[in-house]
Structure 1
Amino acid sequence: MAGHSKWANIQHRKGRQDAARSKLFSKLSKEITVAAKMGDPDPEKNPRLRLAVKDAKTNSVPKDVIERAIKKSQGGDAETYDEIRYEGYGPGGVAVIVEAMTDNRNRTASNVRSTFTKNGGNLGETGSVAFMFDRKGQITYGPEAGDADTVMMAAIEAGAEDVESGEDGHVIWCADTDLNDVSTALEADLGESDSTRLVWKPTTTTELDLEGAQKLMKLIDALEDDDDVQTVTANFEISDEVMEELGAA
């Protein structure tokens, strides 16, 4: 949850427990397999695969797991996954975008709809909330990357659009189509980033009180427990006070 109240874009992932960690590894591996299958199996020649591998490494996925996922994409028996985006509203009127990869559209749609309903939300039609988000590239660095001015200059040189700096580090934003080029340029200047990914950045946010935040977290947790769900993004904002209460609850 660190940084959720400071950075408007929320992508809440669990990873503290072994079972959750295994599930995360599985989802990251699936993205690697799909990216490699859709393009070149060499990350240097496939921007999407390069980002997928980088995300996996950031989350401590073992090298052999990454290599196995790439190799799996080249086999004739590799599963075929459809990429689907679901949109809806969670508790408190928060807009939620769910991205999934599935080999069974009917199963996934039914599960996602049921999860929204059981947790005080409503699944909408495609486009029902996406207009409240921009598709952006997001690159994060820790404080050790440099002060705000240093990172800002590097970001401008790399072709980024904006930088948000704070005591926890730096978040660099760029056009979604420029993410690979910008991240590569930044690595040459600032070193390896903490994370590099495509995200849905809210253009407007909804502030939640403690009760609303607890209900929304329950929905997000339930959605992320679904093996077909890759990411969950919501446009909520939480004050520092509520964040502390949420952490203590």
Structure 2
Amino acid sequence: MAGHSKFKNIMHRKGAQDKKRSGLFSKLSREITVAAKMGMPDPEMNPRLRLAVNAAKAQSMPKDNIQRAIDKASASDGENYEEVRYEGYGPGGVALIVETLTDNRNRTATNVRTAFSKNGGNLGTEGSVQHGFERKGLIEYPASAGDEEKILEAAMEAGADDIESSEDGHTIWTEADQLHQIASELEKSLGDAETVKLAWKPNITVAMEEKEATTLLKLVDALDDDDDVQTVWGNYEISDELMEKLAG
């Protein structure tokens, strides 16, 4: 079950959103509002809302902001967001899945299509790349949560599918419908996780060369800069050495 975590750069560059704190809070607030509107406004009674609130807390989002986002769900004049997923290909044939929450499909579709076309990519039709991914539950813990043996034991007892450990931390994979339950079990033994969310896990990853990686990361950043885009998933793998070089 153990191995080296490739997830940090399969999802997107670690820290890319951290530099845009206000934008990140906006995305987190939108997810909280949608989750609260779809179910009970109580995180203990609404698994999706609980995951959204935990994600916000992991990014040090103030409690007042979290409560405002929950309250917004019951406001009569609140925005109505819908979930729209886009799929396409980036440089080097990399497959990308873009998850959005939008109140204007036309605006979001135009922005996503433009980001792909300007950065060496092509927006595909729905389902064009999804077959290369699995819908899984994702839980991440920092290295400080414990050594690989401790995390592995806790994950196995909780019923997780797989664990990948590296010096950066631990990535735990679950079946999608068991994410909330397993995350709750892990909280008891390991404390709060850094990340608890549904993910698109690639079946096979594509190793990137420098030229293609440079353009790809521009595409991912362009997508991530859009307020409507919640998460960008891909099947790419960039070596730590190359990632450091590109970030320099």
Whole-angstrom distance in 2 between the partners of 1:179 and 1:90: 29
Residues 9 and 168 of structure 1, relative CA distance in 2, 3 Å threshold:
same
8 A Cα contact 2:5 2:164, kept in partner: no
Specify the code of the residue in structure 1 equivalent to 2:12.
Q
Task: Tell me, yes or no, if structure 1 residue 75 matches structure 2 residue 75.
Answer: yes
Specify the code of the residue in structure 2 equivalent to 1:14.
A
Task: Tell me, yes or no, if structure 1 residue 179 matches structure 2 residue 175.
Answer: no
The answer to which of 164-173 and 5-14 deviates more is 5-14
> Structure 1, residues 100-142: CA drift from partner, whole Å, max 9, x if none?
1111111111111111111110000011111111111111112
Residue of structure 1 equivalent to 2:159: 159
Residue of structure 2 equivalent to 1:122: 122
Residues 193 and 16 of structure 1, relative CA distance in 2, 3 Å threshold:
closer
Whole-angstrom distance in 2 between the partners of 1:220 and 1:63: 29
Residue of structure 1 equivalent to 2:12: 11
Whole-angstrom distance in 2 between the partners of 1:193 and 1:243: 25
Deviation at 1:148, TM superposition (A): 1.6
8 A Cα contact 1:86 1:98, kept in partner: yes
8 A Cα contact 1:132 1:202, kept in partner: yes
> Structure 1, residues 70-120: CA drift from partner, whole Å, max 9, x if none?
001011112111100000001111111101111111111111111111111
The answer to which of 3-12 and 78-87 deviates more is 3-12
Residues 52 and 86 of structure 1, relative CA distance in 2, 3 Å threshold:
same
Instruction: State the percentage of identical aligned residues.
Output: 57
8 A Cα contact 2:37 2:73, kept in partner: yes
Specify the code of the residue in structure 1 equivalent to 2:197.
R
Specify the code of the residue in structure 2 equivalent to 1:84.
V
Whole-angstrom distance in 1 between the partners of 2:155 and 2:137: 12
Whole-angstrom distance in 2 between the partners of 1:70 and 1:140: 24
Query: What TM-score results when the alignment is normalised by the length of structure 1?
Result: 0.93
Task: Tell me the SS of whatever aligns to 1:149.
Answer: helix
Task: Tell me, yes or no, if structure 1 residue 169 matches structure 2 residue 185.
Answer: no
Structure 1 unaligned residues grouped into runs of 5+: none
Alignment: residue pair count: 244
The answer to which of 150-159 and 47-56 deviates more is 150-159
Specify the code of the residue in structure 2 equivalent to 1:216.
L
Residues 247 and 32 of structure 1, relative CA distance in 2, 3 Å threshold:
same
Moved over 4 A (4+): 3-8
Task: Tell me, yes or no, if structure 1 residue 61 matches structure 2 residue 61.
Answer: yes
> Structure 1, residues 34-70: CA drift from partner, whole Å, max 9, x if none?
0000000000000000000001111111110000000
> Root-mean-square deviation (CA), in Å?
1.6
